[in-house]
Structure 1
Amino acid sequence: MKLALLVGAAVAPLLFAQPALAQSAQETPTTALDEVIVTGSPVFRNRTDDVVPTLSYDLEYFQRFEPLTVGDALRRVPSVTFLSDVLESDGVRLRGLDPGYTQILINGERVPGGDDDRSFFVDRIPAELIERVEVVRASSANRSGDAVAGAINIVLRDAYTLDGGYIRGGAILFPDDEVGGTFGAVYGGEALGGRLLVGASVQDRRNPKDKFSQRFDRPGGTLDNTEIQTDVRDGTDYSFNADYSVEVGGGTLDLSGVFVRTDRIQDEDSIEYRGGRVQNADLLTINDNDVDIQTDNLSLRGRYEVEMLGGETRFKLGYASFDDEQTEFENEAEYLRDAIAFPDEDRFTADFEIRDLQDEEWSGALEHTRPLSDTTEIEFGIQAVQKDRDSVTRVADRVRFNVPNAPAPRPAQPPFVFSTSTYVIEETRIDPYVMLSGEQGALKWEAGLRYETTDTTIAGVDNDYAELLPSLSLRYTLNETDRLIASAGRTIRRPRFNDLAPVTLEEERGDNDFRGNPLLEPETAWGIDVGFERRLGRRGIVGLNVFYRDVTDLIEDVNTGLQGSGGAGTFIESIDNVGDGQVYGVEFDLSTPLTVFGLENTGVFLNASWLDSQVEDALGERRFNDQSDYVVNLGFTHDIPSWQAAFGATYRKQGDAFGRVFAEEVTTRYGADLEVFLEKRIFSNAVLRLTGINLLDSSKDEVFDKFDDQADQIARDYDEFELETESAGPVFQLVMRVAF
């Protein structure tokens, strides 16, 4: 039914479109053989003609390292950091900022995410679907303004991408010696009077990690307890995509769809010991925590483009949904509540929760572009989005009972008694815009105004606002090799949904409760980017960019001073617009063959970003929470045409991140990551690749400073000081691609 509605709406413009000349021919599709066989020369980032500062990376830039997801691929581009577990790449932190500051686009259109900050986890998209990835550093009037840090545009393959097909199959050896599989197939060609591309993939994903925690009464103080934990995340991703393009009625009709399903089990088991003694006599607790997750992402798009009214008109309609179902249980057994140690259990606790989140978005746009002169054109339009989110949570009352000492029988576990909570979010956005662009000699420019209106209803409470977002970008060509790029504009970050809900969530912030604030205003930011780019030889490129963001109406946690549900010493926290902040940094990227040294088949790349920010809270000055201070990627590829082979490596290091909220602080450090690949063409139409990931056994180390309240935090009167380290071993993948 949804597909029928989409097709009908996309075809509707044919009924009233004026006659027009046929569209100009599309680019010649890449043959499947050319896409599978990429040996012969290194692949670098593209030098785009966009006026807005944009870094573009084709699939070939990532493909040789065989990333499983878009998140894995993004680990090689400038200024992208993650605050994920080891071997996980989910929420993009462009320029080190929270994922809510980064706009994730698919084919230039925003996509709904399951998190309450509207962010989209890029590990939901298999890398096999992408044609290229663009890092868009500044805003434009014809795109959504939710891009304080910038935007990541994931361009999927379309019907004109590929001529022919290929099959990808292989095996993955995970750190715990389990073996998984990966399979994909893509085909593109003429069909049904137009061009059609279809693709599908199935791939196993497994991430087994070991964690070790030590908890002290204060830094350098007494060791209270240790915890040994295993965390295994095991699942399978399924995807299907299709794109159809046809000339009809004097215009071009494009229909596309993507479906991705993630089935995943997260199994955490931990054992806690008293002091530093790992022995049965000091066993405190055994904990078993499992989460069963099924997530479906669906995106359907229709676009009709036709020459009319003296220019080009585009009609767009889209439907996207996010359906996330999670079932979680946690069982804990305690052993030292009396003097009798293991194996006699003293108390048993069980928790059970079922969560179902359904997010749907309908989007539409009417856009028109026409020339004003030989050197200037105008684009204007209106874009609209209707979001509906339904969340249902069923939480069982905690089961807890004491267990008598043996030989008395262990009591039977009573049945769970559930309570259900629901909330509904409705949000409507209507965003008109106008944009002028032109070219005068060596200067290309773009200037626009976007007016974003937002009407949100959550838990029956309205939150409405509107913001005017101007933008300006310039590109000046100095000579055949050098150019300057500059941009300035205003962007927005909307409040998290949970932050708007005027309900009190018990023990949501540690021991403290949390109550949302329906009167929150969005954060806005004025920003500038200034960059220099030079072409090196025929294929190399080097760039340097400086950026600055001035953020106003910063949204931060505050303490209401009201007593929380936990009694004396606990509080009700809330959230408010508390002030301003600044974000700034320097970004460098280089990719070039070493032709000057006679090594034209060797390519090197380096991108390095130095990131900083400033914000004031009750304890003084700090960075934006969890912003890494730098990220560096360094690598090379070397082709051996006579052997029809290639090899290469990448090294990545992300700097420390610090976060401070009410009564808790955390410092996060990551180890370095090394990946390598070996590639051999084995037939005229087939290539075999061996890749190794996390070859340095990277670890994630966290330091937690915990306090009872903010007064103790200021006085440094500790409740607990914790050191936690998480590690995982290498992953190896053997993949064959065969073109047909």
Structure 2
Amino acid sequence: MTRHALAIGLSRALACALLLPAGGAFAAPDANTAADAAAAVAGDPKDLDAVVVQGEIAYRNRTDDTAPVLSYDLEYFQRFEPNTVGDMVKRLPGAAFVGSDIGEYDGVQLRGLGGGYTQILINGKQVPGAGDDRSFWVDRIPAEMVDRIEILRSNSANRSGDAVAGAINIILRDAYAFDGSYLRVGVNRAFDGEVNPTFGAVTSGEALGGRVLAGINVQDRYRAKIKRSDRFSDPSMDELVSWEDQTEVKDGRDYSGNVSYTVDVGETGRLGVDGFFVKTDRDITEVSFEEEYDDGEVITADVPGRSTVDQKNWGLGVEYRFDMAGGTTELGVDHARFEDDSVESEEAHAYVDGEWDESEAESLAIDAKDAETRFEIAHKRDVGASTEMEFGVDYRRKERDIDHTFYEWAAEAEGDPVVYEIDGTVESVIEETRLDPYLMFSGQAGIVSWEAGLRLETTESEIRYIEDGETEGASTKDYDELLPSLHLKWDLTDADRLSLSLARSVKRPNFNELVPAMLDGEFGDNDYIGNPQLDAENANGLDFGYERRLGRRGVFGVNVFYRDVKDLIELVNTGAPSEEAIAVWEELVEDGDYATIEEAMAAEPAESFVFSSANVGDGQVYGIEFDLSTPLSAFGMEHTGVFMNYAWVDSKVDDFLGERRFNDQARSTFNVGFIQDLPTLESSFGLSYRKQGDAYTRILAEEVKIRYGADLEAFVEKRFGDSVSVRLSASNLLDASKDEFFDKFDTLGDQIDRDYDEYELETEEAGPSYQLVMRWAF
């Protein structure tokens, strides 16, 4: 623990402040925690039947937070019947999904930056996920579990600083905030005619001396798509090298539930317990046919593939808030876990000019566990002069253990059954321990609200790499990050508001960048080895925004942002020859061209190398975001609501080839839509349109441009009294495609000279889908 001496010293100093005299007890809630979400609700709990039968159109909330926060209740999204949080988030300003299959929304990217730059919180807490970049797939959480979603554009001291692009806070329904019960039943129909059911139930009320909420959700998730790939010798597309037709079906079921229990303890205390569980069972079936042309021969292949996915996410948290020492103290403990037990397999049966040539297969079994445990203590108090002080300490322990077992098979004759044999095991273990004290002050002076804070994040990490049961590499790495933040808000009038935020944030290295494992042929002919000594990236950020209230419920906002990223992690050439280069030299010696490997190396320089990751240079990210959410009351159309947001982003970074944008950064995102309510008919209908700009990725030996078509959604709804609603919704009505353009090379020299190994065009489509849902409140 000596390496945490600075953190411990600061935390002890902060704790001494409990003995300071205070002007009075502070009992206002902290909007960044789950308990805050409950405490922020004024008056009686909201009836759940208002969620079922919406008498009014819901708009974006206008929060009182000093830090820049955009807040959207479930009712804002619900009429388009989102199935998952991903279906909700795709409508938010600046939220892009690059790499997701068409019609799916899993890895969200704010400001167009990769998933690891966007922090995902559930009830204000970090949760582990499947991504090597520390990202969490938001399509794992069903929409029916959600109370609201917040976009936290800039850091505050009382939150983890892993949010260069910002954070998305998913607030689950809370026992204190809701009252009542309802059922949700429905069916989904895919474009190929497949029909699948969905079911959900939520109940909340007084029990066990407090309030309890429980919800369950079971939904079949089905997605069929068709894919076509055409591969050419170069971008001129004069020579077709091969092509592939593929159909893919993802057929599975998600089981989920959440519970919340809140009880008042004594005169000032409140105890809260919340938990969630999500289980995904899915079968993925691929059927491909490939045709390749090689020196006058036609090589065809049937390539069936199958994957079984068994993933679990769950979390449990306990918080206790009470008045103490002239202020309010909060204690919290939570544990979250991600588990993955999946199998991927693919066969290939090849024929040359119609005659069987070979059959082979590969399979990969994945056993992954990622667990995080967190303890926190925080105290908030009034220190006079309209100023409040908050300080606290967060302790976090993370362990990520991933075990990959590889299998292979090759046939001796056509028709041989597939019998897999083990081909090796690879395991990586990453352990991180963090102790993060912070201190924050906030207050108000006239029309100006302000918040200033300082957070120290200390990290101890241990990395181990095990191959076939033997430890091949192990390393430790410690680093500290000091993260200041400042937020200012000017309420110029009752309608007009300016905000300015300055904050420092971090992005920790991707897990696969840390593991010291040699990966042969990872980038064309080039190999890759991880670097456990990587430092975290850090960014100084600025957000400046203007927001105006439109009438009673409308809001318009514009925000400009800038991030100056330091210690950027990029690929670097170690200078060591790759396995491919060594094999070439060995073959030259074997053929008698040279007497020794040394002579071959001197005469035939390597064309491919071992690459790694390193902290190199800086990068800049900047853009502008608009959002509008308002009824058209000014035009006499009180029952017509319109929604629009647009984000334009750009960036600069230097890699091994020069300047480019950040990888996978969609140039823009655009959402527009309307809802028309018909009160006399107890009905409503609406349309929503979404378009995401092109994204570009450049890595060693490959460059990719990704383009998504536009998505058009619609719904029509009929309400029956105060307790029943029936809604028909449709998505992907324009039959959008995902188109990818691949420039592929063997070596860095080939990439510089534009000497292509292959140029590929790939497109996939999934067709429209429809959903019929009935809700009944009781």
Query: What TM-score, normalized to structure 2?
Result: 0.89
Aligned: 1:177 with 2:189: no
Give the deviation of 1:248 after TM superposition: 1.4
CA separation of 1:575 and 1:427: change in aligned 2, threshold 3 A = same
Q: Which residue of 2 aligns with 1:513?
A: 527
Give the deviation of 1:512 after TM superposition: 3.0
Q: Match for 2:326: what amino acid? A: G
Q: Distance in 2 between matches of 1:420 and 1:552?
A: 36
Q: Distance in 1 between matches of 2:417 and 2:187?
A: 45
Q: Distance in 1 between matches of 2:656 and 2:321?
A: 53
Q: Is the 8 A contact 1:558 1:662 kept in 2?
A: no
Q: Distance in 1 between matches of 2:243 and 2:525?
A: 21
Q: Which residue of 2 aligns with 1:13?
A: none
Q: Distance in 2 between matches of 1:323 and 1:366?
A: 28
Q: Distance in 2 between matches of 1:683 and 1:483?
A: 39
User: What aligned pairs does 1:141-152 form with structure 2 within 5 A after superposition?
Assistant: 141-152=157-168
Q: Secondary structure at the match of 2:222?
A: strand
Match of 2:276 among 251, 255, 258: 258
Structure 1 stretch 232-241 or stretch 20-29: which is displaced more?
Answer: 20-29
Aligned: 1:400 with 2:410: yes
Q: Which residue of 1 aligns with 2:588?
A: none
RMSD of aligned alpha carbons: 1.9
Q: Which residue of 1 aligns with 2:122?
A: 106
Q: Which residue of 2 aligns with 1:482?
A: 496
Q: Which residue of 1 aligns with 2:666?
A: 628
Q: Distance in 1 between matches of 2:643 and 2:361?
A: 51
Q: Secondary structure at the match of 1:257?
A: strand
Q: Distance in 2 between matches of 1:412 and 1:586?
A: 58
Q: Which residue of 1 aligns with 2:153?
A: 137
Q: Secondary structure at the match of 1:423?
A: strand
Q: Is the 8 A contact 1:533 1:543 kept in 2?
A: yes
Aligned: 1:246 with 2:256: no
Give the deviation of 1:275 after TM superposition: 5.5
List alignment gaps of at least 5 residues for structure 1.
1-19, 404-408
Q: Percent identity?
A: 52
User: What aligned pairs does 1:58-207 form with structure 2 within 5 A after superposition?
Assistant: 58-83=73-98, 84-207=100-223
Give the deviation of 1:160 after TM superposition: 1.6
Aligned: 1:224 with 2:238: no
CA deviations over 1:263-309 (Å, ceiling 9, x no partner): 11121221112369xxxx94521111211111111100000000001
CA separation of 1:234 and 1:169: change in aligned 2, threshold 3 A = same
Q: Is the 8 A contact 2:520 2:528 kept in 1?
A: yes
Match of 1:618 among 646, 651, 656: 656
Q: Is the 8 A contact 1:22 1:247 kept in 2?
A: no
Q: Secondary structure at the match of 2:91?
A: coil
Q: Match for 2:69: what amino acid? A: T
Q: Which residue of 1 aligns with 2:518?
A: 504
Q: Is the 8 A contact 2:293 2:299 kept in 1?
A: no
Q: Distance in 1 between matches of 2:128 and 2:420?
A: 37
Q: Secondary structure at the match of 2:77?
A: helix
Q: Which residue of 2 aligns with 1:720?
A: 758
Q: Secondary structure at the match of 1:100?
A: helix
CA deviations over 1:435-454 (Å, ceiling 9, x no partner): 00000110000000000001
Q: Match for 1:36: what amino acid? A: V
Q: Is the 8 A contact 2:523 2:702 kept in 1?
A: no
Q: Is the 8 A contact 1:27 1:160 kept in 2?
A: no
Q: Match for 1:274: what amino acid? A: E
Q: Match for 2:123: what amino acid? A: N
Q: Secondary structure at the match of 1:711?
A: helix
Give the deviation of 1:708 after TM superposition: 1.0
User: What aligned pairs does 1:591-602 form with structure 2 within 5 A after superposition?
Assistant: 591-602=629-640
Give the deviation of 1:564 after TM superposition: 2.4
Q: Is the 8 A contact 2:97 2:109 kept in 1?
A: yes
Match of 2:676 among 638, 644, 652: 638
Give the deviation of 1:731 after TM superposition: 0.7
CA deviations over 1:23-68 (Å, ceiling 9, x no partner): 98964111122111103x3211000000111110000001111101
Aligned: 1:547 with 2:561: yes
Q: Which residue of 2 aligns with 1:48?
A: 63
Q: Match for 2:242: what amino acid? A: N
Match of 2:324 among 308, 313, 328: 308
Match of 2:435 among 430, 434, 450: 430
Give the deviation of 1:402 after TM superposition: 5.3
Aligned: 1:675 with 2:720: no
Q: Distance in 1 between matches of 2:447 and 2:231?
A: 62
CA separation of 1:597 and 1:427: change in aligned 2, threshold 3 A = same
Give the deviation of 1:558 after TM superposition: 1.8
Q: Is the 8 A contact 1:545 1:588 kept in 2?
A: yes
Give the deviation of 1:570 after TM superposition: 4.1
CA separation of 1:483 and 1:415: change in aligned 2, threshold 3 A = closer
CA deviations over 1:168-221 (Å, ceiling 9, x no partner): 000000121100011000000000110000000000111111110110000113
Give the deviation of 1:163 after TM superposition: 1.1
Q: Distance in 1 between matches of 2:609 and 2:624?
A: 40
Q: Secondary structure at the match of 1:708?
A: coil
CA deviations over 1:102-156 (Å, ceiling 9, x no partner): 0001111111112222111101100110000001100000000000000000011
Q: Which residue of 2 aligns with 1:10?
A: none
Q: Distance in 1 between matches of 2:390 and 2:490?
A: 22
Q: Distance in 1 between matches of 2:524 and 2:388?
A: 55
CA separation of 1:415 and 1:94: change in aligned 2, threshold 3 A = closer
Q: Distance in 1 between matches of 2:525 and 2:301?
A: 20
Match of 1:684 among 722, 726, 748: 722
CA deviations over 1:312-341 (Å, ceiling 9, x no partner): 0000000111111111111101111xxx41
Q: Which residue of 1 aligns with 2:401?
A: 390
Give the deviation of 1:353 after TM superposition: 1.4
Aligned: 1:665 with 2:679: no
Aligned: 1:572 with 2:610: yes
Q: Is the 8 A contact 2:744 2:758 kept in 1?
A: yes
Q: Match for 1:122: what amino acid? A: V
User: What aligned pairs does 1:522-533 form with structure 2 within 5 A after superposition?
Assistant: 522-533=536-547
Aligned: 1:360 with 2:376: no
Q: Secondary structure at the match of 1:359?
A: strand
Give the deviation of 1:738 after TM superposition: 0.2
Q: Is the 8 A contact 1:523 1:551 kept in 2?
A: yes
Give the deviation of 1:162 after TM superposition: 1.6
CA separation of 1:537 and 1:21: change in aligned 2, threshold 3 A = closer
CA separation of 1:482 and 1:352: change in aligned 2, threshold 3 A = same
Give the deviation of 1:572 after TM superposition: 2.0
Q: Is the 8 A contact 1:173 1:179 kept in 2?
A: yes
CA separation of 1:81 and 1:412: change in aligned 2, threshold 3 A = closer
Query: What TM-score, normalized to structure 1?
Result: 0.93
Structure 1 stretch 419-428 or stretch 637-646: which is displaced more?
Answer: 419-428
Aligned length: 707
Q: Distance in 2 between matches of 1:43 and 1:410?
A: 61
Q: Secondary structure at the match of 2:681?
A: coil
Q: Is the 8 A contact 1:161 1:188 kept in 2?
A: no
Structure 1 stretch 103-112 or stretch 416-425: which is displaced more?
Answer: 416-425
Q: Secondary structure at the match of 2:384?
A: coil
Q: Is the 8 A contact 1:253 1:304 kept in 2?
A: yes
Q: Secondary structure at the match of 1:211?
A: strand
Q: Match for 1:639: what amino acid? A: D
CA separation of 1:707 and 1:163: change in aligned 2, threshold 3 A = same
Structure 1 stretch 660-669 or stretch 554-563: which is displaced more?
Answer: 554-563
Q: Is the 8 A contact 2:608 2:748 kept in 1?
A: no
List alignment gaps of at least 5 residues for structure 2.
1-24, 29-38, 465-473, 585-606
Match of 2:463 among 451, 458, 462: 458
Give the deviation of 1:415 after TM superposition: 4.3
Q: Distance in 1 between matches of 2:215 and 2:357?
A: 55
Q: Secondary structure at the match of 1:712?
A: helix
CA separation of 1:352 and 1:538: change in aligned 2, threshold 3 A = same
Q: Which residue of 2 aligns with 1:697?
A: 735
Give the deviation of 1:401 after TM superposition: 4.1
Give the deviation of 1:374 after TM superposition: 4.5
